[in-house]
């Protein structure tokens, strides 16, 4: 499974957050697309509409397990996708901004 470190992500990289709604609402990366893993297959079209045509999809969850599953699925579909190593826990630990559902400072749960 291809992975990328949080520190290697650039501003503007396409980020897909596959955590559940309560996790997203508590804190997420601003600008990420949110499709919970539990709804991913049913909402797959949202991803294909939002993702850059020839760009990479960076998949993130809390620690990397769920996002690895989704990234693997996407790669099997012929999509350029990578798992974000360590997930939102590492995102927050490296000082990247986390916002809640209201756009205020959030927390990773």
Q: What is the pLDDT of residues 69-89, one digit of tens each?
A: 999 999 999 999 999 999 999
Query: What is the pTM assigned to this prediction?
Result: 0.97
Name the pLDDT band for 93 (thresholds 50, 70, 90). Answer: very high
**Which positions are catalytic?**
61
Going by C-beta distance under 8 Å and a sequence separation of 6 or more, which residues neighbour residue 103?
Answer: 30
């Amino acid at each position: 499974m291809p992975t990328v470190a949080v520190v290697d992500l650039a501003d503007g990289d396409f980020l897909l957050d596959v955590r559940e709604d309560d996790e997203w609402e508590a804190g997420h990366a601003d600008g990420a697309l949110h499709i919970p893993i539990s709804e991913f297959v049913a909402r797959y079209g949202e991803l294909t509409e939002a993702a850059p045509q020839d760009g990479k999809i960076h998949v993130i969850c809390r620690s990397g397990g769920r996002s690895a599953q989704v990234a693997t699925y996407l790669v099997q579909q012929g999509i350029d996708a990578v798992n974000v190593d360590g997930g939102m826990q590492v995102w927050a630990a490296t000082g990247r901004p986390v916002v809640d559902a209201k756009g205020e400072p959030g927390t990773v749960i």
